[in-house]
Amino acid sequence: MIRFLSVVFMLIMTLGLAAQAQDANIQDVLQEHREAIEKSSRKTIAPAIDAIAASGLPSAQTVLQKWQSKDMWQRKSDGQFFYAEKVDSKTYTIFAFEGGTPLGDIAKADLDQLKPNSGIRAMIGAALVQFQLNDPDPVRRQEAILAIQRDGEASHLAPLRASIASEADPDIKALKEVTERLLTISYDTDDAARVTAIQGFNGALSLEARAALNPVLSTKITLKDSLPETANIKRKIIAGSDALSVSDAFDMLVASGVTQAQPTVSERKDALAANIVDGKVGGVAVADLNTQDARDRAYQTLAEAGTVPAWDAGFSEADAVKSAAFVEVYDESSKAVTDAAEATLKTIDRAVGLNQTLDLALDGLSLASIYFLAAIGLAITFGVMGVINMAHGEFIMMGAYTGYVVQQIIPDYTLSIIVAIPAAFMVTFAAGVAMERLIIRWLYNRPLETLLASFGVAIALQQIAKNIFGTQARPLTSPAWLDGALVFNDVLAISYIRIAIFVLAGIFLAVFLFIMKKTRLGLETRAVTQNPRMAASMGINPDRVNMLTFGLGSGIAGIAGVAIGLYAKVTSEMGADYIVQSFMTVVVGGVGNIWGTLLGALGIGFLQKGIEWLNPSNTLAAQTYMIVFIIIFIQFRPKGIIALKGRAAGD
């Protein structure tokens, strides 16, 4: 009932306003600010937006919305503004803002589109808030709240508070309430209200909450004496500590006129150069001025004569700043507010720290699953069969390109992925079998040569891929349901595609274990690997087993390729990016044991993320140190984390 009444009230209000402003015209307002609108710069546009928003005209909202969505056009001949709809690439239909009456078709060449940049669009959004907060369309209302969260203003506070009571949608209502508290923290004049609002965010993880709280706590470091008695001081600062370096402190002293700066090295040098008399400065020959010591002596002589500013060689900035008192002072004047904010932020920081650690762990886990996925095929061919296949990376690449080709044929992304996975398996399985039959089987006794021959295959495959698909990266687009991220809160989130890779890695682990432990092929593979001749005499065909095992390892690499292509990119060189890491994963984990490979992947993934966390500005360094660490690790545990024991270890 109340809601109905308020809507009726709003309606009457609007109609009343409209009637009142009947004689004014939105076009006039626009024309008045024509220059600013044409210039379209955030620095000069504010009066134009304000004028439109404050005009009280019914079409003001339309103008702002059309302008914001780049639908406002200007007729070149007379500079009039319209909104336009496309008829075809050359012609547009223009409409008047009032009433939306079509004014006929017009050639595009006679029109100029107004393209507000995103800064201006945000300002328009902020101006639209007053119209949209009570808009019947919930999407509009949400947009308005988003605009407040992005560019909140003190003037939003009153309309927002007024709109909460009448809000029907519980979700939007909650959103409005949170936003109201955020605005209260930043703009309310009543300290008590602010403190209450601040305390409401205890332990909150949202970025907006921190974004509202942190500015309250902004501080600056200054000389204590320069402050009034009432200043809201945070703490004392000792010059020379982490917070304030000696030279900064000294500069502050100089700026406040407490002390005098000493001439710097280059100033002294310039002074010397300016005082050369007959090839000498202060009694020292110019040619001898090539040491700092000689220059200092010359300068002292000049200083004593009074020709240059005095300079105290024994002067120490550290001593000069010792006697001065420095403090860190809040920009916010109310101590109650800053105390509350500090306390709240402390609880938030604890929660954020915990979630950041979890997020880092998730990143590490995700990276580990990618490494595991890339390495699991290798765990079969290298780990079980002992065959070094340098073309493993190229099988990954083949799988990814298969996915790309399938996507060209089947435009539906979900269906194409479902088709691409078995297709990639089949393509690389076939390639693996072919490679085993043609090359590898002749070289079982020459592992080093397997390495080289398979490398030959790798460079050939890479170049063939380049010749077919070009060197440019190809898109492999994930289906819509894998877009976006699983968001726990503003700190902890992981994209669905990474979750999918994690799941896939788990499935592969299970499949691998099942095949090796529960099927005949697995039994035969293990038998052939341990003792081929004994296995052969038991009626196992080692050729067939080797072929199938190698094919299986290659096929899994193909599926891994599809997954990696979805999350990163498809290029002819993507295989080479993973090959060394994959071998490292298998070797670190311990050859011949899938659990070892899993541990290896986890170790490398977490290690890399850990190093990145310690050194966030240089990811390349993280990779370098990781490899060095692995090399050292292998020196001390050459058989990997899980070493095979007894006969299975072989030599």
Partner 1 sequence: MKNSFFMKNPSLLVFLGLLALFTLGVTLMSEAYGSGLVSTSFVKTLGKTLCLALVAIAMDLVWGYTGILSLGHFAFFGVGGYMIGMWLMYARTEIIVVNSMASAPIPPTASELSDAIGSQIFGVVGSSDFPAIWMFADSLVLQLFMVVLVPGLVALVFGWLAFRSRVTGVYLSILTQAMTLALSLYLFQNDSGLRGNNGLSGLQNLPGADNIPQSVISIWFLWGSALALALTYIATSFVVSGKFGSVIRGIRDDEARVRFLGYSVEGYKLFVFVLTAIMAAIGGALYYPQAGIINPAEIAPIASIYLAVWVAIGGRGRIYGAVIGAVVVSLVSTWFTGGQAPNINLGFYVVKWVDWWQVLLGLSFVLVTLFAPKGIGGLVDLFTGRLAPSRKGAPLGPDAGSLREEEAEK
Partner 2 sequence: MTLNFKATLASALFATTAMASGALAADCTTKVGVLHSLSGSMAISETTLKDVMLMLIDEQNAKGGVLGCELEAVVVDPASDWPLFAEKARELLTVHDVDVMFGNWTSVSRKSVLPVIEELNGLLFYPVQYEGEESSKNVFYTGAAPNQQAIPATDYFLDELGVEKFALLGTDYVYPRTTNNILESYLKDKGIAAEDIFVNYTPFGHSDWSKIVADVVALGADGKKVGVISTINGDANIGFYKELASAGISADDIPVVAFSVGEEELSGLDTSNLVGHLAAWNYFQSAESELNDEFIAAWKTRMGEERVTNDPMEAHYIGFNMWVNAAEAAGTTDVDAVRTAMYGQEFPNLTGGTAVMGVNHHLAKPVLIGEIQADGQFDIISQTTEVPGDAWTDFLPESAVLMSDWKDLGCGMYNTETKTCVQLKSNY
Question: What does the alpha-carbon distance between residue 216 and residue 345 come to, in Å, rounded to a whole number?
Answer: 11
Does residue 264 touch partner 2 according to CB under 8 A?
Answer: no
> What does the CA dihedral 449, 452, 456, 458 come to, rounded to 10 degrees?
120
Q: Which of residues 481-510 bind partner 2 (CB under 8 A)?
A: 483-485, 487, 490-491, 493-498
C-alpha to C-alpha distance for 62 and 232, rounded to whole angstroms: 47
User: In the range 609-638, which residues lie near partner 2 by CB under 8 A?
Assistant: 609, 612-613, 616-620, 623
Shortest distance, position 30 Cβ to partner 1, whole Å: 48
Report the distance separating Cα 579 and Cα 374, nearest Å.
Answer: 8
Q: Using the rule CB under 8 A, is 106 a contact of partner 1?
A: no
d(C-alpha 165, C-alpha 145), whole Å: 15
Site size toward partner 2 (CB under 8 A) is 59
Q: What are the DSSP E strand ranges found in 409-531?
A: 485-487, 493-495
Q: Among residues 407, 400, 366, 421, which one has the least CA distance to residue 573? A: 400
Q: Is 475 helix (H, G, I), strand (E, B) or coil?
A: coil
In the list 7, 54, 227, 273, the residue contacting partner 1 (rule: CB under 8 A) is 273
Q: Binding residue for partner 1 (CB under 8 A) from 218, 290, 408, 472?
A: 290
Contact between 286 and partner 1 (CB under 8 A)? yes
DSSP 192-245: HHHHHHHHTTTT---HHHHHHHHHHT-EEEEEGGGS-TT--EEEEE-TTSSSS-
Burial class (CB in 10 A: 0-12, 13-18, 19+), 73: buried
As a whole number of angstroms, the distance between CA 252 and CA 268 comes to 22
Q: How far is the CB of 574 from partner 2 (least distance, A)?
A: 8
283 in contact with partner 1 (CB under 8 A): no
For residue 387, the number of C-alpha atoms closer than 13 Å in the C-beta half-sphere is 28
Q: Say whether residue 536 binds partner 1 (CB under 8 A).
A: no
Question: What minimum distance in Å lies between the beta carbon of 128 and partner 2?
Answer: 14
Q: Which residue has the tokens 């010059």?
A: 239
**Residues 332-371: x/- map of binding to partner 2 (CB under 8 A)?**
--------------------x---x--xx--x--xx--x-
User: Residue from 447, 484, 506, 650 that binds partner 1 (CB under 8 A)?
Assistant: 447
Of 29-37, 55-63, 204-212, 243-251, the segment contacting partner 2 by CB under 8 A is 204-212
Task: Work out whether 306 is an interface residue with partner 2 (CB under 8 A).
Answer: no
CB of 21 to partner 1, least distance (A): 59
41 near partner 2 (CB under 8 A) = yes
Mapping DSSP onto H, E and C, the string for 392-411 reads HHHHHHHHHHHHHHHHHHCC
Q: Which residues bind partner 2 (CB under 8 A)?
A: 41-43, 115, 117-122, 150, 207, 210-212, 214-215, 352, 356, 359-360, 363, 366-367, 370, 470-475, 477, 483-485, 487, 490-491, 493-498, 567-569, 571, 573, 577, 609, 612-613, 616-620, 623
Q: Which residues bind partner 1 (CB under 8 A)?
A: 269, 272-273, 276, 281, 286-287, 289-292, 295, 388, 439, 442-449, 451-453, 455-464, 466-467, 576, 580, 583-584, 587, 618, 620-621, 623-624, 627-628, 630-632, 634-636, 638
